[in-house]
A and B are shown apart, each in its own frame.
Chain A
Amino acid sequence: QQQVKQSPQSLIVQKGGISIINCAYENTAFDYFPWYQQFPGKGPALLIAIRPDVSEKKEGRFTISFNKSAKQFSLHIMDSQPGDSATYFCAASSASKIIFGSGTRLSIRP
Chain B
Amino acid sequence: DSGVTQTPKHLITATGQRVTLRCSPRSGDLSVYWYQQSLDQGLQFLIQYYNGEERAKGNILERFSAQQFPDLHSELNLSSLELGDSALYFCASSVIATDGEQFFGPGTRLTVL
Bind each other: yes
Residues of A at under 8 Å CB distance from B? 32-34, 36, 42-46, 49, 89, 91-103
Known: A43-B2, A43-B90, A97-B56. A34 touches B100 (CB 8 A): yes
Known: A45-B2, A89-B42, A103-B42. A98 touches B98 (CB 8 A): yes
In the assembled complex, B25 has its CB within 8 A of some CB on chain A: no
Number of residues of chain B lying within 8 A (CB) of chain A:
19
Q: Of the candidates A43, A49, A102, which one forms a contact with B100 in the assembled complex, judged by CB atoms under 8 Å apart?
A: A49
Binds A, one of B13-21, B62-70, B78-86, B101-109: B101-109
Q: Of the candidates B41, B92, B98, which one forms a contact with A93 in the assembled complex, judged by CB atoms under 8 Å apart?
A: B98
Known: A93-B99, A97-B56. A42 touches B42 (CB 8 A): no
A45→B107 CA distance, assembly (Å):
12
Give, as a whole number of angstroms, the nearest-CB distance from B43 to chain A. 5
A99→B102 CA distance, assembly (Å):
12
Residue pair B104, A43 in contact (C-beta under 8 Å): yes
Q: Of the candidates A45, A93, A102, which one forms a contact with B104 in the assembled complex, judged by CB atoms under 8 Å apart?
A: A45
Q: Which residues of B contact A36 (CB under 8 A)?
A: 104
Q: Which residues of B contact A89 (CB under 8 A)?
A: 42-43
Give, as a whole number of angstroms, the nearest-CB distance from B53 to chain A. 15
